[in-house]
Structure 1
Amino acid sequence: MNPDIQSKFASCPKEAKQQLERVRALILAIAAEHKLGDIEETLKWGEASYSIKGGSPIRIDWKAKEPSAIRVFFHCQTRLVATFKEIYRDEFGYEGNRAVVIPLDTDIEQVPLRHCLLLALKYQSLKHLPLLGA
């Protein structure tokens, strides 16, 4: 894990840190399972950022002003969040066209987050398809 991201996660409350680590592990697992290549893991705008060639960046963070959830951020000029809202209307909370809200007590294996992350990681090859091919 990138040391900057490790420090960032360590600064969060235990439950938030654990949820961020679970989402990070899911991103890395998806990339490996689908042989998408190496993930670049950096800190951008104070948030953990994951990008891959051919994909759209994903950022994850916890904010003290809304302590009961983490956010998974997607590039706001893509169709990603609009697509998620269309196909997963009730499974998530959303923040505009840029984030999916994941409560700290959510089992991320029980919500369609894996599919959303996969669409982001493969975005460049899917962006021309209706509903990103979902």
Structure 2
Amino acid sequence: MIDPPFTSADVEAVFNAIPEPERKGLLKLRALIFKTAAQSPEVGAIEETLKWGQPSYLTPETKSGSTIRLGMPKTGGFAIYTHCQTTLISDFQNLFPDDFAYEGNRAIHFDNEGAIPAPKLQMYIRAALTYHLKT
């Protein structure tokens, strides 16, 4: 998987402050975001920054995508978040209703990094990174 170095000391510090095993899971999600973007030329370069104190991934070059955030929900584990006013979660939940733990229309939760089904999740990430190309 593509695991680029951090370009932001602030983002790296947030990852370093996350306890194991959540950090390992979030780093797997981070790598999956960069891998998916690299396989999707229409996305362009990914910007990794902090939004609401969480690592966030944007498509500033092409503006093709909706922001993806990574974090730890209060209920434990780790999660991937997208904007709650998009159809990303509902569309994905229609495809895979029982394969993931969903939080309303904003997140997919994971209990451990071994529970990340990369091929299916790449579909979700690609949909988020190209969300504005559909409209």
TM-score by length of 1: 0.86
Shift of 1:14: 1.8
- The Cα of 1:66 is off from its aligned counterpart by 2.5
Contact kept in structure 1, 2:24 and 2:113, CA below 8 Å: no
Secondary structure of 1:56's counterpart equals coil
Other structure's SS at 1:106 match: helix
Q: Could you report, residue by residue, the CA deviation over 1:76-95 in whole angstroms, capped at 9, with x for unpaired residues?
A: 11110111111110111111
Runs (5+) with no aligned partner, structure 1: 128-134
Q: 2:85 aligns with which of 77, 80, 97?
A: 77
2:70 paired residue number: 60
What residue is the counterpart of 1:132 in the other structure? none
Task: Report the more deviating stretch, 90-99 or 110-119.
Answer: 110-119
Q: SS of the counterpart of 1:6?
A: helix
Query: In the aligned structure 1, how far is the partner of 2:114 from the partner of 2:133?
Result: 30
Task: Give me the identity figure in percent.
Answer: 37
Q: Is residue 76–residue 98 contact of structure 1 (8 Å, CA) maintained in 2? A: yes
Deviation at 1:12, TM superposition (A): 1.1
Whether the 8 Å CA contact 2:28–2:113 is kept in 1: the answer is: no
Residue equivalent to 1:22: 28
CA distance in 1, matches of 2:113, 2:32: 16
Cα displacement (A) at 1:110? 4.9
The one-letter code of the counterpart of 1:60 is: L
Q: Which amino acid aligns with 2:45?
A: D
Q: Cα RMSD between the aligned structures?
A: 1.5
Q: How many residues in Structure 1 have an aligned counterpart in Structure 2?
A: 125
Amino acid at match of 1:97: N
